A and B are shown apart, each in its own frame.
Chain A
Amino acid sequence: MNAENQFCRRTRREFLWQAGGGFTGLALTGMLARDGFAADSHKRTTAFVNPMAVKPPMIPAKAKAVIFIFCYGGPSHIDTFDYKPNMIGMDNKVVPVKTFGRGGKKNEGRVVEPRWKFKQYGQCGKWVSDLFPHMATCVDDMAFIHTMYAESPIHGSAMLMMNSGRILSGNPCLGSWVTYGLGSVNENLPGFVVMLDKTGGPISGPKNWASGYMPAAYQGVVVRADKTPIHDLALPPGITRNEQRILLDHLKEKNLEHLQTRADNSELSARIASYELAYKMQQYAPEAVDFATETKETLGLYGIEGPTEARTADFGRKCLLARRLVERGVRFVQVYSGGAHNDDNWDAHTDIIKNHSKHAGHTDLPVAGLLKDLKRKGLLDSTIVIWGGEFGRQPTAEYATGTGRDHNSYAFTMWLAGGGIKGGVSVGKTDELGAQPVGEKFHVKNLHATVLQQMGLDPNKLSYFYGGLNQKLVGVEGAEPIHQAIA
């Protein structure tokens, strides 16, 4: 999908979907990449192309799937992975420091020392706080990016930025781009899946998994780790699966009769096929969330059973489901830690200890379990796991009293693991307080570029023609992957 030569515009693409251009899904990408595509614009035939059909990667791929643990609200980097030993002893000192959060721009503030002790872990000797004793055991698989930055310190726009690369609403999400670029290998499950926190969705709700100017086929599908994982998957009350089968058989018969004199219209056959897919989805999706075949040991690994069960089972189920979905070919799984507002997520404005203890307590063991399980199953090599929020938190207090921290989008930490990511490295340095980057820093777009590249999509060439522009996830200016984090 070379930007210079590509002329696949929205309407033409639309024709490709509704009419298919006569190509199979595999050929579609090839066609789009070809110089002469524009010249073929009138050859609109009517063979169907499933928008989710598998497409080959543009460049050699290291990873096949992504699991994004989204710590909504903004976890504090200096209390977790960005070790600031020089802050010890500075508690309550008022220091000059530039900050910008929901409380506006400030030039000084009262230091809130990191509230947890740090220890070194792994071969790489990474310093990790006591908040994450379990994740800490996986540091040799993780690449820490300490100088992430975003363009907004406000949840709504920063969430959009982390998910879609822009602070403006209306753009497709990372998951949409990945499924648009690669399709999905399992037609019985959605290709882009979102799991929400038990307290609710994040701010702006579905905008965070919307496909923007791309067709709705690329939007995220909300999946729950319970008996009816997908909306409208359950049969209507009083109807059995067998009865629905009978109905579908008769529907198919009627539709085939209708098709007889319209055989050239592939949309009609696609719609017939979509009912069969829906029927199969009803069979396979519950299978994906059925943990009966998982061992007790595995359930323990995720904290679904065991001493921490009360705190960790809920998030553990989501992490285990994430692995099971990836195993079944789902491309992009986003799991939200934290939902709704205030202390229901990582947004620790008043009491960092209470807030972060709660959320770390819910997620530390399950996320570590996920990494370990993926690794022993040989899936970590082909699965990128991302951890982080829409921004980090300030080194200083938000109010005159207490330990609450305001938002910090100047610098924050995220980590990546698996899928060709280099383990045990830390990229980027922040100042003594973790307020600002020192030296190289990485825009959210660099993170997106990294993910796309590992998935076999050239971030600077993967484009979608809309509004007169070859739109890219990383913007028209482009962005480089974070090379230091790539093995």
Chain B
Amino acid sequence: MKRYFVPFFLFFAAPVHADDKSSTFTKEQVAFFEKDVQPLLKKNCLKCHGGREKIKGGLRLTSRDSILKGGDTGPAVNLAKPAESLLIQAIEHAKDGYEMPPDGDKLPAKDRATLAKWVKEGLPWSATAAPPIAAQPAVEPGGVVTEKSKQYWAYRPIHRPAVPAVKNSGWVKTPIDAFLLARLESKGLTPNGPADKVALARRAYYDLWGLPPTPEQIDAFVADHSANAFEKLVDMLLASPHYGEKWGRHWLDLVRYAETNGYERDGPKPNAWRYRDYVIRSFNADKPYDRFVQEQIAGDELWPDDADAIIATGYYRLGIWDDEPADKDQALFDGYDDLVATTGQVFLGMALNCARCHDHKRDPIPQADYYKLLAFFRGIRPYSDTRDVKSSNNQTDITPAAKRALYEDGLKARLAKANELKKEMKPFEDAAIKKMSPADQLKVDDGKRDEVVRKVPQYLTGSDRTAYSRLRRAYDAVMRQPLPDRDLALSVANCDPRPPQSYVMVRGNPHVRGKEVSPGFPEVLGFPTPTIPPPKAGAKTSGRRTVLAKWLTDPANPLPARAFVNRIWQYHFGRGIVPSPNDFGKLGEPVTHPELLDWLASELVSGGWTTKRMHKLIMLSSAYQMASTNSEANAKIDVGNSLYWRFPMRRLGAEEVRDSMLAVSGSLNPAMYGPSVYPKIPKDVLAGQSVPGQGWHTSPPAEANRRSVYVHVKRSLLVPVLNNHDAADTDLSCPVRYTTTVPTQALSMLNGEFANEQAVALAKRLQTECPDDLTKQVSRAIRLTTGRVPGADELAKDVAFVKSLQEKYGMTATKALTQYALLCLNANEFIYLD
């Protein structure tokens, strides 16, 4: 059976035939073609090898020339050796995987004979046959690297542009403002004035922490009238560990972070949480981005003794993995595809994955580029060689020395005790064995003593039997006693120091090898082919990934810095300077401010790749501190705000929604790090699983109320409040979160268990903090959920509302306040930021 839409012709190095241009055919031959051959082609072949669209394998059977020219894999007909023609081999199903027609049986023998005769006679053609259809010219051909294609902005070296001059220089707080203002002024746009301080504080807290500021935190900022009040706030936010919890989550979106493998069993990825913690720690430590990248790509090669560098290679193990693939080769290369796609998109902003089956349609990425990048990863073995989720391929022992000593001591102690007991048991066993069957005695001689000693009690009597059983129980207990922990990390492990030869896989088919390739970089960037030093004797890996890691952080490589600063910008302003952050190519969205992007990229590199410095640079700009209000005049010119005349409003992200509800209700458990937690998932959601509740070990409430970044990420089971608010899809890199608004969100926020529990907790908090004073309780609720001090009218209205619930609907004070708390958690002002 053919399970792929396979290429029909091998990669074929035969010369193109140029010797037949003067071919002429007899009347009989032409008639044969018209009467017998042409209808056959029409009926069986031209659907895929005829028209303008959907030409498969690049082969057109619509003219004699196009047949001789052939498709992606060479000429279809070899006039010199007709029987060896690919066309004949295809219709004869002579090669596995190359059968034509692709679905079903061979053509009837008669038809095959007709075609064979036709080929043998030199492809007679008819003058009246339909004129050849020319290949449709592509919009702009991709897949080929030309001098012109190298000039595309994304591939050019980063040149630090001069900061442009502007008219309203008073607005310019950082060079960022000058770049934006120059464009705004050229279009006759006026940037908004500054946001009010409450809005700015909320913006900054959410951007850097993903949590709402408390009323006290807002008050402190509002009361600070010093010139650098906002800078102090930003410094404080960046210094807090909450920063890593928020920005680490952005990174986890990109690297398709999940803690299970997907598919039928959706089994756990042991120790995946260490990677999550590593990412949070790295952001908090302001680890230079180049080091951060190097650790993830080649930490095991570069710093084998550094636990964090090992954990970082968990990057390679986060994707989906089918423990029971129908086709092993396909699964192996699907695994590599995940690595090529993720690495290309995340670190380079390049859609290299588009070149798995063919040259990229629009970008100058030949198919070989894909396989050259894949070759860097070829030494990485599959997630697991068996169906076991824990494998020597994916776990590395990172136990620190002190802890390891404990483990080894424990092991030693256990063995000593066990040996002692064994010694005591031996005389009993020897006596019993002498009474056993010859077969069993033979086993002992064969070194299979362990198999027979279980039978020993049967051959003992009285006090011997009792004594032996006691010893045996003691022995079993010693062996069962847990040893001190070892720390294991999800990582690459057991790599192949001498990876197999890599090939271009023809049409992406893992069973069809094309030309050989070795590790290399996308051609368009113009780097020489790297030399991979041969692995030293005893080397654990090939060293290929070290070469890749260095290149991915080479300041001469223009893409990594651009890709990363673009993301920093995106996560502050809601949209990247390149709005398609995983694809800087022609199928992505055009860059809006290329000079600004380059200026930021050069700042990143010259500043030692530190991220916190970039945050400050951006947040201290006038642009970041603008109000989000509308301006009719500006909207007439740039309604989509593509030039940033205002700060864009945004909805809270999925984690922010959940964490904010927990925070304002006072239920948030701020504990950091460690194995993931499992908030309660309602029964009817669990019912969707084939074994309801499987793989979801509901945590006790306090644990469950930790920040969402610590919530277990199970591919096939999502926590409703996160899923409803567009949490990242984890099967592929997620560069941009959606913001969808659907009624089922409202249902869960109004009726759902989680929302109602938080409303109860918030009401309780209000009663505790403002006992017996409804006005104060209402005011506090508004402050907690919006940051703002409510106006007198608003306060009066809300108090009247709560009172009416008590008076008209007979609710108790607590119930009425709980309903009000629920309302506050549902308000747009709580969920949206100015």
Which residues on A are within 8 Å of B, measured CB to CB? 4, 7, 9-12, 14-15, 17-19, 22, 41-46, 48, 51-52, 100, 102, 149, 151-157, 160, 167-170, 187, 190, 196, 200-207, 212-213, 215-217, 221-222, 224, 230-236, 238-239, 242-244, 246-248, 250-251, 253-255, 257-259, 261-265, 267-268, 270-272, 274-275, 277-278, 281-282, 339-341, 409-410, 436-443, 460, 465, 467-469, 475-478, 480
Contacts and interface: CB of A to CB of B under 8 A. Distances in A.
B345 interface: yes
A204 B263 contact: yes
B731 A46 contact: no
B827 A258 contact: yes
Given A231-B682, A232-B748, A243 B690 contact: no
Contacts of A476: 357
B640 A19 contact: yes
Interface in B640-660: 640-642, 649, 651
30 contacts: A9-B580, A17-B740, A22-B639, A42-B640, A43-B640, A51-B742, A154-B264, A154-B324, A156-B322, A157-B324, A187-B743, A196-B688, A203-B264, A204-B690, A216-B724, A231-B684, A232-B682, A234-B751, A243-B809, A248-B750, A262-B630, A267-B651, A271-B746, A277-B743, A278-B743, A467-B341, A467-B353, A468-B588, A475-B5, A477-B56
A78 B612 CA distance: 66
Given A44-B641, A51-B740, A410-B1, A244 B831 contact: no
Interface in B719-760: 720, 723-724, 726, 729, 731-732, 735-736, 738-748, 750-752, 756
Per CB-CB distance, the 6 closest pairs between chain A and chain B, nearest first, are A44-B640, A156-B264, A468-B351, A170-B731, A278-B746, A152-B326
A51 B743 CA distance: 11
A251 B327 CA distance: 55
Contacts of B716: 204-207
B698 interface: no
A439 B746 contact: no
B638 interface: yes
A255 B354 contact: no
Contacts of A217: 740, 742
A215 B738 CA distance: 6
A442 B1 CA distance: 12
B320 interface: yes
A339 B104 contact: no
Contacts of B341: 467
A170 to B, nearest CB: 3
B125 to A, nearest CB: 28
Given A247-B819, A267-B739, A274-B741, 8 more contacts: A160-B263, A190-B744, A201-B692, A207-B262, A215-B740, A278-B746, A443-B103, A477-B5
A230 B320 contact: no
A170 B720 CA distance: 18
A443 B6 CA distance: 14
A436 B105 CA distance: 11
A156 B585 CA distance: 35
Contact of B583 (A43, A187, A243, A468): A468
Given A236-B756, A271-B828, A436-B1, A250 B326 contact: no
Contacts of A10: 580, 735-736
B51 to A, nearest CB: 12
Given A44-B642, A170-B729, A201-B688, A468 B717 contact: no
The secondary structure that dominates the B interface is loop
Interface string B580-610: 1111010111101000000000000000000
A235 B266 CA distance: 33
Contacts of B3: 151
A12 B589 contact: yes
Contacts of A14: 736, 738-739
B324 A244 contact: no
Interface residues of B, number: 107
Contacts of A100: 1, 326
B690 A224 contact: no
A423 to B, nearest CB: 25
Interface in B323-378: 324-327, 334, 341, 345, 351, 353-354, 357
A199 to B, nearest CB: 9
B823 interface: yes
A200 B690 CA distance: 5
A52 B629 CA distance: 29
A268 B751 contact: no
A259 B828 contact: yes
Contacts of A170: 320, 729, 731-732
Interface of B: 1, 3, 5, 47, 54, 56, 103-105, 139, 262-266, 320, 322, 324-327, 334, 341, 345, 351, 353-354, 357, 575, 579-583, 585, 587-590, 592, 628-630, 635, 638-642, 649, 651, 682, 684-685, 687-692, 715-718, 720, 723-724, 726, 729, 731-732, 735-736, 738-748, 750-752, 756, 794, 797-798, 801, 804-805, 809, 811, 815, 819, 822-823, 826-829, 831-832, 834
Nearest to B352: A468
A201 B264 CA distance: 12
A185 to B, nearest CB: 15
A356 B47 CA distance: 40
B736 A169 contact: no
Contacts of A233: 747, 751
Nearest to A152: B326
B99 to A, nearest CB: 12
B747 A278 contact: yes
B264 A204 contact: yes
Contacts of A201: 687-690, 692
A250 to B, nearest CB: 5
Nearest to B630: A264
B761 to A, nearest CB: 14
B741 A267 contact: yes
A349 to B, nearest CB: 15
Nearest to B751: A232
Contacts of B630: 262-264
Contacts of A206: 688-689, 716-718
A275 B718 contact: no
B743 A281 contact: yes
Contacts of B629: 261-262
A213 B729 contact: yes
A102 B649 CA distance: 52
Contacts of A339: 690
Nearest to B588: A9
B827 to A, nearest CB: 6
A251 B827 CA distance: 6
Contact of A169 (B685, B731, B805): B731
B59 to A, nearest CB: 14
A276 to B, nearest CB: 8
B744 A278 contact: yes
